[in-house]
Structure 1
Amino acid sequence: MTKLFDGMKTYLMQSIPDIRVTDVVEMIIIAVLLYNVMLWIKNTRAWVLLKGILVLLGFILVAYLFHMNTILWLADKTINVGIIAVVIIFQPELRRALEQLGRNKVLGFLVSDNGKMVDDKFSDKTMNEIVKATFEMSKVKTGALIVIERKTPLAEYERTGILVDGVVTSQLLLNIFEHNTPLHDGAVVVRGNRIVAATCYLPLSDNMAISKDLGTRHRAGVGVSEVSDSVTVIVSEETGTVSVAFDGGLRRGMDPDTLREELKRIIEENEAPKGRRLKILKGWQKHEKKADK
Structure 2
Amino acid sequence: MLELIPRPSLWDIVDLLIVTLIIYKVLTYLAQTRALQVLVGIFVILVLSVVAKFLHLYTLSFILNNLLTIGILALIVIFQPEIRRILARIGESQFGITTSEAEAERIVEEIVRAAAQMSEDRIGALIVVEREIDLDNYVESGTVIDGKLTKELLITIFWPGTPLHDGATIVRKERVYKAGAFLPLTLNPKLPQTVGTRHRAAIGITEESDAVAIVVSEETGAVSVAYSGKLIKNLDPQKLKKVLKGLLIKKSEKRGILGFMRKENEETV
Structure 1 residues 179-202: Cα deviation after superposition (integer angstroms, max 9, x where no partner): 010111110000110010001111
Q: Which runs of 5+ in 1 are unaligned?
A: 1-76, 90-117
- Letter of the 2:230 counterpart: G
Picking from 247, 255, 271, the partner of 2:236 is 255
Q: Counterpart of 2:134? A: 153
Q: Counterpart of 2:172? A: 191
Q: Secondary structure at the match of 1:171?
A: helix
Shift, 1:120, TM fit: 3.5
Asked if the contact 2:146/2:175 (under 8 Å) is kept, the reply is yes
Distance 1:211 1:280, change over 3 A: farther
In the alignment, the residues of structure 2 paired with residue 128 and residue 278 of structure 1 have an alpha-carbon distance, to the nearest angstrom, of 18
Structure 1 outlier segments of 4+, above 4 Å: 269-273, 276-282
Distance 1:282 1:130, change over 3 A: closer
Distance 1:126 1:278, change over 3 A: closer
Picking from 197, 207, 223, the partner of 2:204 is 223
Q: Counterpart of 2:266? A: 287
Q: Secondary structure at the match of 2:266?
A: helix
Asked if the contact 2:142/2:181 (under 8 Å) is kept, the reply is yes
Asked if the contact 2:142/2:182 (under 8 Å) is kept, the reply is yes
Shift, 1:125, TM fit: 0.9
Structure 1 residues 119-165: Cα deviation after superposition (integer angstroms, max 9, x where no partner): 74451111111110111000011000000001111012445211000
Q: Counterpart of 1:264? A: 245
Q: Counterpart of 2:157? A: 176
Q: Counterpart of 1:164? A: 145
Shift, 1:85, TM fit: 3.5
Structure 1 residues 35-89: Cα deviation after superposition (integer angstroms, max 9, x where no partner): xxxxxxxxxxxxxxxxxxxxxxxxxxxxxxxxxxxxxxxxxx89x949x849x76
Distance 1:156 1:225, change over 3 A: same
Identity over the aligned pairs, expressed in percent?
38
Q: Counterpart of 1:210? A: 191
In the alignment, the residues of structure 2 paired with residue 134 and residue 209 of structure 1 have an alpha-carbon distance, to the nearest angstrom, of 27
- TM (norm. structure 2) is 0.59
Structure 1 residues 100-134: Cα deviation after superposition (integer angstroms, max 9, x where no partner): xxxxxxxxxxxxxxxxxx97445111111111011
Show the 5 A alignment for 1:1-293.
81=73, 85=77, 120-121=99-100, 123-158=104-139, 160-268=141-249, 279=258, 283=262, 286-288=265-267
In the alignment, the residues of structure 1 paired with residue 172 and residue 263 of structure 2 have an alpha-carbon distance, to the nearest angstrom, of 25
In the alignment, the residues of structure 1 paired with residue 257 and residue 159 of structure 2 have an alpha-carbon distance, to the nearest angstrom, of 36
Q: Which runs of 5+ in 2 are unaligned?
A: 1-68, 82-96
In the alignment, the residues of structure 2 paired with residue 120 and residue 285 of structure 1 have an alpha-carbon distance, to the nearest angstrom, of 29
Q: Counterpart of 1:98? A: none
Structure 1 residues 160-183: Cα deviation after superposition (integer angstroms, max 9, x where no partner): 211000000000001000001011
Q: Secondary structure at the match of 1:288?
A: coil
In the alignment, the residues of structure 1 paired with residue 210 and residue 203 of structure 2 have an alpha-carbon distance, to the nearest angstrom, of 11
Distance 1:285 1:264, change over 3 A: closer
In the alignment, the residues of structure 2 paired with residue 203 and residue 215 of structure 1 have an alpha-carbon distance, to the nearest angstrom, of 13
- TM (norm. structure 1) is 0.55
Q: Secondary structure at the match of 1:123?
A: helix
Shift, 1:262, TM fit: 0.3
In the alignment, the residues of structure 1 paired with residue 244 and residue 182 of structure 2 have an alpha-carbon distance, to the nearest angstrom, of 22
Between 1 and 2, higher relative CO (CA 8 Å, sep ≥ 6) is seen in 2
